[in-house]
Amino acid sequence: MKRREFLFKAAGFAVMLSVPVFAKAASNKPLKATAITQVFGDGINLTGVAIEYQSPLEASSINAKSFSVGA
């Protein structure tokens, strides 16, 4: 699998996993996701995903325990 294809699939998967967390706020749906990558000695790696919503999220509605990173 090509790196670019992997990055897009990984970003899409991350968005799919994070959408249920904010499903209660149905009026504030995600608009797009942007893959955040870094180049290391062994190549490019997906290090994060930025999700853009229709309106700003309130910090009090976001719980860090709702998110996890797995390899």
Question: Which pTM does this prediction carry?
Answer: 0.51
- Domains in the chain, number: 1
Q: CA of 62: how far to CAs of 12, 30, 41, 57, in Å?
A: 20, 14, 34, 8
| Residue 33 structural domain | 3-70
Say yes or no to pLDDT of 70 above 80: no
Name the residue among 71, 55, 68 with its Cα closest to residue 18. Answer: 68
The pLDDT tens digits of the residues spanning 7-57 come to 767 766 666 655 555 555 557 777 888 888 899 998 888 888 888 888 888
